């Protein structure tokens, strides 16, 4: 993707992030408030140990999936992509969901601790983290004969997120990615508090940390792109 497309792409990324925040606060938070009325008599430790229902999670993921599709269509209008890239993006999200689930386990989540909710949260994280990144990066892979390899393209996506930045667009994607990690890490402190708040229920801290961290990362990336003259 050329440097000239940074402005429309930044607008799409910003709208995607704002929409993700809105989806959580419009479709999840009211349901949590409803649960709080029915759980007010319970001990705080019981509330914290009661996970978010799979029904609410599936609803949030479904709305988020629809929003991601809209973002992909908008991105396609800015920089037309091939069907193969869309398929590769879906594959990257599937593999990213598994990787994220394993990462949660390494970070202290017991495999038997509400595995369904944890895996659904992993899908949500992978979808919102990789979907906006994969297509432009997958379409840029043309330098050797292995570029059509599905595994090769997915490796390129991770190198794009974790490697040295070569453009303002890449810096924006990386800032959003690292912001997501910081947000999820920061809100993980809610797991050890004993206040009985609805947002402490698993995996709400992960979802909120992701969307707010990503939004903050995008702001940092946009500001950094304005002052950093070393990259295009």
Residue 120's pLDDT is 92
pTM for this prediction = 0.85
Say which DSSP state 4 is in: G
Contacts 24+ apart (CB under 8 A), 28-36: 28/56, 28/60, 28/204, 28/207, 31/56, 32/198, 32/199, 32/201, 32/204, 33/198, 35/198, 36/198
Residue 3's pLDDT is 43
Nearest CA among 6, 22, 8, 3 for reference residue 128: 22
Dump pLDDT digits (tens) for 138-183.
445 444 445 556 677 677 777 888 888 888 888 888 999 999 999 9
| 52 touches 203 (CB < 8 A) | yes
Delimit the domains of the chain by residue range: 3-227
Residue 208's pLDDT is 94
Token code pair at residue 91: 């594959």
Dump pLDDT digits (tens) for 39-62.
888 888 888 888 999 989 999 999
Dump pLDDT digits (tens) for 95-138.
888 888 988 888 777 778 889 999 999 999 998 888 766 555 54
Say which DSSP state 147 is in: G
């Amino acid at each position: 993707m050329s440097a000239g497309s940074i402005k429309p792409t930044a607008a799409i990324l910003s709208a995607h992030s704002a929409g993700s925040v809105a989806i959580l606060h419009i479709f999840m938070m009211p349901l949590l408030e409803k649960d709080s009325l029915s759980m007010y008599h319970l001990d705080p430790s019981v509330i914290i140990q009661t996970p978010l229902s799979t029904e609410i999670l599936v609803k949030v993921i479904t709305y988020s999936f629809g929003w991601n599709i809209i973002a992909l269509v908008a991105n396609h209008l800015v920089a037309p992509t091939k069907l193969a890239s869309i398929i590769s993006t879906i594959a990257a999200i599937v593999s990213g969901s598994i990787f994220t689930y394993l990462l949660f386990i390494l970070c202290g989540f017991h495999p038997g601790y509400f595995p369904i909710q944890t895996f659904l949260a992993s899908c949500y994280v992978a979808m919102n983290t990789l979907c906006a990144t994969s297509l432009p990066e997958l379409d840029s892979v043309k330098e050797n004969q292995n570029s059509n390899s599905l595994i090769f393209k997915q490796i390129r996506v991770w190198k794009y997120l974790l490697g040295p930045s070569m453009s303002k667009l890449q810096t924006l994607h990386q800032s959003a990615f690292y912001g997501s990690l910081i947000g999820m890490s920061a809100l993980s402190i809610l797991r050890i508090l004993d206040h009985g708040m609805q947002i402490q229920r698993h995996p709400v801290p992960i979802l909120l940390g992701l969307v707010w961290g990503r939004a903050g990362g995008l702001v940092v990336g946009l500001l950094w792109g304005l002052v950093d003259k070393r990259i295009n």
